[in-house]
Amino acid sequence: MHAKMTKLQAVFSLSLVFLCLCSKTLGQAPVQAPAQAPSKPADTPAPRGTPDVTKILQKAGGFTILLRLLRTTAVADQIKGQLDNSDTGFTLFAPTDSAFSNLKSGTLNSLSNEEKIRLMQFHTLPKFYSLENFETVTNPVRTQAGDTKPGDYPLNLTAAGGQVNISTGLVNATVSGTLFSAKQLAVYRVDKVLLPLDIFVPKPPAPAPAPVKPKAKKAAASPKSSSSTTTTPPLVVDSGAVGLTEHGMLVSVGFSVFIAAFSLR
Ligand SMILES: *[C@@H]1O[C@H](CO)[C@@H](O)[C@H](O)[C@H]1NC(C)=O
Ligand SMILES: *[C@@H]1O[C@H](CO)[C@@H](O)[C@H](O)[C@H]1NC(C)=O
Ligand SMILES: *[C@@H]1O[C@H](CO)[C@@H](O)[C@H](O)[C@H]1NC(C)=O
């Protein structure tokens, strides 16, 4: 009786263990296998196989947050799909984990899913750029985020002697290394997360006009031009320092700082 019981128990627990192992490996294999396999680094990429952004970043290490974002936004798949199916090249600016950790806390959490997708697409240029190519780009450069409406989500690049500076209008970053550069795909390490103005500073309803002269109201001003002028310029300057998390808050903080600065005089 006893022996039977223990045998049964043994079988039972063995199968449990087996089940656990199975589900574990089933669940994790696709993600971990490539990362852990210490296969010989294929330094010379296969001549025809499509380069895989995810594998490149995993191999380089230190891109956990970027990898997660590229996966959850499906931008990694997007890049892969387009590399597979067209001759369009891609350039990816890859912010390191420390670049992400230098963001104001809550920055990522404050973004909607749509904004996260835009953020990832903003780091992607729908064209292959070698370091030399950067020296002759015409600014602003089109990013994947601005694909639907050209002129949106622009990025400025300046390069000389192998050094590449990137400016979003909010953030200045530099390219600090080349992770991959072959026919269709370039992946560059950057020291900062490229925060697009389009997400982190709400667009003013209209281009901010020059301040209305206080007493120049002789002729009946058209009702449109007299509508309150939105004071955006000072905010843009401050926003980098003040904090990028809550848009609404940011504006009011920036604005009251602006007011306070004036009332102190
Ligand atoms: C990049 O920025 C740094 C720091 O602002 C500056 O010293 C350097 O000249 C810039 N390089 C290029 C190529 O724009
Ligand atoms: C980017 O470059 C364009 C063209 O030179 C310029 O008009 C624009 O102000 C620049 N934007 C930033 C954020 O540097
Ligand atoms: C970025 O660099 C430009 C030119 O060097 C400078 O005018 C601007 O203040 C910098 N912006 C930030 C946010 O550091």
CA of 172 to the centre of ligand 3 (A): 6
Comparison of pLDDT for 61 and 161, the residue scoring more: 61
Query: What is the reported pLDDT for 183?
Result: 72
Is the predicted pLDDT of residue 157 greater than 70, yes or no?
yes
Which residues contact ligand 1 via a Cβ below 6 A? 158-160, 163, 165
Mean pLDDT, residues 196-202: 80
Among 103, 163, 172, 201, which residue has the most ligand 3 atoms within 8 Å of its CB, making it the best to mutate? 172
**Bond into 214 cis (ω within 30):** no
Mean pLDDT, residues 161-187: 93
pLDDT 10s digits, 216-262 = 444 444 444 444 444 433 333 333 334 343 444 443 333 444 434 44
In the structure, what pLDDT confidence band is assigned to residue 49 with cuts at 50, 70 and 90? confident
For residues 104 and 242, what is the distance between their CA atoms, to the nearest angstrom?
9
Quick check: 63 and 96 in contact, CB under 8 A?
yes
For residues 94 and 56, what is the distance between their CA atoms, to the nearest angstrom?
11
For residues 84 and 92, what is the distance between their CA atoms, to the nearest angstrom?
16
Comparison of pLDDT for 121 and 26, the residue scoring more: 121
Distances (CA, A) of 141 to 21, 261, 264: 49, 36, 42
Atom of ligand 3 nearest to the CA of 171: 13
Quick check: 134 and 159 in contact, CB under 8 A?
yes
Find which of 106-120, 144-158, 238-252 is predicted with most confidence, using mean pLDDT: 106-120
Strands 163-167, 124-125: pairing kind:
unpaired
Q: What is the CA radius of gyration of the chain?
A: 26
CA of 169 to the centre of ligand 3 (A): 8
CA dihedral (211, 235, 159, 52) positive or negative: negative
Please list the residues that pair with 159 across neighbouring strands: 164
Least confident segment among 42-46, 62-66, 225-229 = 225-229
For residues 180 and 175, what is the distance between their CA atoms, to the nearest angstrom?
13
Is the predicted pLDDT of residue 90 greater than 70, yes or no?
yes
Is the predicted pLDDT of residue 21 greater than 50, yes or no?
no
For residues 129 and 208, what is the distance between their CA atoms, to the nearest angstrom?
34
CA of 227 to the centre of ligand 2 (A): 28
- Which domains does the chain show, CATH number per domain? 53-200 (2.30.180.10)
For residues 265 and 257, what is the distance between their CA atoms, to the nearest angstrom?
13
Atom of ligand 2 nearest to the CA of 197: 13
CA of 248 to the centre of ligand 3 (A): 24
In the structure, what pLDDT confidence band is assigned to residue 133 with cuts at 50, 70 and 90? very high
Quick check: 119 and 125 in contact, CB under 8 A?
no
In the structure, what pLDDT confidence band is assigned to residue 154 with cuts at 50, 70 and 90? confident
Which residues contact ligand 2 via a Cβ below 6 A? 139-140, 156, 167, 169
Comparison of pLDDT for 203 and 156, the residue scoring more: 156
Query: What is the reported pLDDT for 82?
Result: 86
Comparison of pLDDT for 219 and 122, the residue scoring more: 122
Strands 90-95, 185-190: pairing kind:
parallel
The single residue listed with the structure tokens 């039977």 is 4
Query: What is the reported pLDDT for 151?
Result: 59
Q: What is the DSSP letter of 40?
A: P
Among 103, 139, 167, 192, which residue has the most ligand 3 atoms within 8 Å of its CB, making it the best to mutate? 167
Q: Give the containing element (helix H, strand E) for 177.
A: strand 172-182
pTM for the predicted model, two decimal places: 0.64
